[in-house]
Amino acid sequence: MIYSVINMDIVHSRKIKNRIEVQNIIKNYLKSLSKKYEDKLLTPITITLGDEWQIVLKDISKSYTIITEINEFLNDYDIKTYSGIGIGSISTEVYNRSSNMDGEAFINARNALNLSKKGGGLINSKANRVLLNEYFVSKSEEVAISLENDNLNSKLDLVRVINSLIESTEILLNKITPKQWVVIKGYRKADSYNKMVEEGISNSKSDISQKLNSAEFFVIENNIRIIESLFAQYKER
């Protein structure tokens, strides 16, 4: 069995005002998120240090989705994170606290987190702080995507494709303005332009449409769905 382990760490955590209060808010949020993702998690989300936490997913497809959901919540507090995703096996028994577990997935996640902080290499933009670590498999088990276009017949490594899509999505997410975030979150909750106008989130349906399109909201959502399907290939190999 292979799993996804995600290590997340707050950027410049010591500079956060009311740090203890914010840590408690995050702790309670992660507890509620564990319940929401209960059927997709191997263990509850574990806070390893005050400003770091670890996620172990048995549903690998949700690896990037859960990161974007957490970061969207933290955006309200002007908090950014580094995220390292590791795919692989687990060599220990399953415990309620993931910090008591180890294996290939954990090693890959730790390395990915460190690389996300350093930048360079597989990260080309300063706006991107999310990285999937290399997943080493034998040639017979290699996961790749075939691209065929007339005379073109090449293979792209799945890790590079996922990292490239994640980086493109992170760049778009980092360009969203506070006003656009208000509309995006209102749209997620209401799922209706009319309801958003009724609730006073926006003055008109055209304003909602303009802000969602300016934020490239639908491009971002489509990218996340594609990334989910690419991560799912690890389970299908």
Give me the mean pLDDT over the 98-105 stretch: 87
Assess whether pLDDT exceeds 60 at residue 208.
yes
* Structure-model confidence comparison of residues 145 and 185, the more confident one: 185
| Domain extent listing, the chain | 3-140
The answer to whether 115 and 163 have CB atoms below 8 angstroms apart is: no
Tens-place pLDDT, residues 162-171? 999 999 999 9
Cβ atoms of residues 214 and 180 within 8 Å:
yes
12-67 pLDDT per residue, tens:
988 888 888 999 999 999 999 999 999 999 999 999 987 999 999 999 999 999 99
Query: In terms of pLDDT, which residue wins out, 178 or 102?
Result: 178
Domain 3-140 has CATH 3.30.465.10: no
Dump pLDDT digits (tens) for 104-161.
999 999 999 999 999 877 788 999 999 998 654 434 344 544 444 444 334 458 899 9
